[in-house]
Amino acid sequence: MSERIPRLNDPDWKQVSTLPIAENHEDLVPASLAQGTLACYPAYYKLGIPNAVPECYIRREVYLRLLSAARSLPEGITLLVLDSWRPYSVQQYLYDTLYNAIEQHWPYKSAAELEKLTREFVSLPSTNPKAPSPHLTGGSVDVTLLDSNGLMLDMGTLFDEATAGSHTAAFEELPHPGPHERHIISNRRLLYKAMTEAGFTNLPSEWWHYDFGNQLWAWYSGRQQACYGPTHPESLENRWRKEVDRRHD
């Protein structure tokens, strides 16, 4: 079994949002281009979440690093991308849905407490160019592993399960893990090792969430600045408009 997953502190979001962004204007590419090396299943689109897109868009360097992670895996194991760049409206939907569920369960908690609990699993929706939501940058990816039959490996909790068991190192802390728990630990370590060795950082509250290039990545990797700010896939209409504008300059 590979090395233990370290227990990291949750991000200090106020500090994370102050890290400067030196946007490098890297384009977004669809993860599905890597068919055969990566698997792509846009989970929120498949679930019918309003305004979710039918593709997993990622920054070009993120795409290349995902390929590196995928190629490091044992034979028969495939890296699956579940979500990456997402529109602001989808981020707002996810945040509101979890916030409302928590509020119904704990109606006596203050707004600040509800926000803190929600942000454990869903970042605050933001298009602020100085402090965007991580997934809005194209630098965040939600990933898991598939077996040789195309089925997801057992990670102990489901993708997007908002429980303490979803914390990346949760099973590492069991004093006497049984065979099933040891299997989960092995699967999480395999994913963590592949992703971190490819240059990604992990959000400690989510075993599936990894970052590269954005403020969250800069925070956990100890860098002074990020290189990805908010972005969006370029539409055909926008590209044509730019080309027409250039011709008439």
Q: What is the mean pLDDT of each run of 10 residues along the chain (249 residues)?
A: 90 95 97 95 96 97 98 98 96 90 88 84 89 97 98 97 94 95 98 98 97 98 97 76 69
The pLDDT of residue 237: 65
Amino acid 116 reads: K
Cα distance between residue 216 and residue 222, in whole Å = 10
The answer to whether 55 is a known catalytic residue is no
The pLDDT of residue 7: 95
135 is in an annotated binding site: yes
The residue from 206, 234, 237, 243 that is catalytic is 206
The pLDDT of residue 147: 98
176 is in an annotated binding site: no
Write the DSSP assignment of 54-83 as a string of letters: SS-EEEHHHHHHHHHHHHTSPTT-EEEEEE
126 by Cβ neighbours in 10 Å (0-12 / 13-18 / 19+) ranks as middle
The pLDDT of residue 249: 63
DSSP type of residue 226: B
**What are the φ/ψ torsions at residue 103 (nearest 5 degrees)?**
-65, -40
Q: Domains in the chain, start-ordered, CATH in brackets?
A: 13-88+128-247 (3.30.1380.10)
The pLDDT of residue 98: 87
209 is in an annotated binding site: yes
The pLDDT of residue 5: 98
